[in-house]
């Protein structure tokens, strides 16, 4: 039996997520979009001949960080240092995530002082995630991970079975 992406995607959960009216779930889905935007547009901005290159590199790093913040089961299957795991787990509440996204957004907004580039797009989407997490916190909505993006959390992911299947 080969591993398929459909083993990890819960389509009913995705549908429930968008009907939940929980802003932390909306922010998480937007955060997943931010992963792709940060990495793709970070790479695209590496070809400038000014300080925007630095912000492109920062965007790539932000995208990589977001992978572990927004997709928690990756902490279980990717061996990382305990310090990194502790750092990522600090963002398991709405307020810390809102601040995390706001700081990352501000960094990308600052890139506009060098030159107006496509890094404006991650800045906007990161800000949107920050606002969604802040709204969830203001409304006292419980922080929850999406039911649709992955069927397992970092604690329940069957790593041994997945590794055996891959090998």
Q: Is the pLDDT of residue 157 over 60?
A: no
Q: What is the DSSP string of 22-89?
A: -HHHHHHHHHHHHHHHHHHHHHHGGG-SSTHHHHHHHHHHHHHHHHHHH-THHHHHS---HHHHHHHH
Residue ranges per structural domain of the chain:
22-141
**Residue among 117, 160, 153 at smallest CA distance from 28:** 153
**Residue among 51, 62, 65 at smallest CA distance from 117:** 51
pLDDT interval class at 151 (50, 70, 90): very low
What pLDDT digit, counting tens, does each position of 36-53 carry? 999 999 999 999 888 899
pTM: 0.78
What pLDDT digit, counting tens, does each position of 104-136 carry? 999 999 999 988 899 999 999 999 999 999 999
């Amino acid at each position: 039996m080969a591993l398929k992406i459909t083993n990890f995607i819960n389509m009913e959960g995705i549908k429930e997520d968008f009907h939940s009216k929980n802003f932390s779930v909306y922010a998480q889905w937007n955060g997943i979009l931010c992963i792709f935007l940060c990495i793709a547009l970070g790479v695209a901005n590496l070809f400038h001949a000014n300080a925007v290159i630095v912000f492109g590199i920062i965007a790539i790093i932000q995208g990589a960080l977001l992978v572990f913040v927004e997709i928690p089961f990756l902490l279980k299957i990717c061996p990382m240092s305990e310090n990194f795991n502790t750092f990522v787990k600090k963002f398991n509440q709405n307020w810390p995530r809102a601040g995390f996204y706001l700081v990352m957004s501000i960094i990308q907004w600052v890139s506009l002082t060098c030159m107006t580039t496509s890094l404006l797009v991650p800045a906007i989407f990161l800000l949107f995630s920050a606002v969604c997490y802040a709204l969830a916190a203001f409304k006292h909505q419980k922080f929850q991970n999406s039911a649709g993006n992955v069927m397992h959390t970092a604690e329940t992911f069957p790593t041994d079975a997945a590794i055996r299947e891959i090998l």
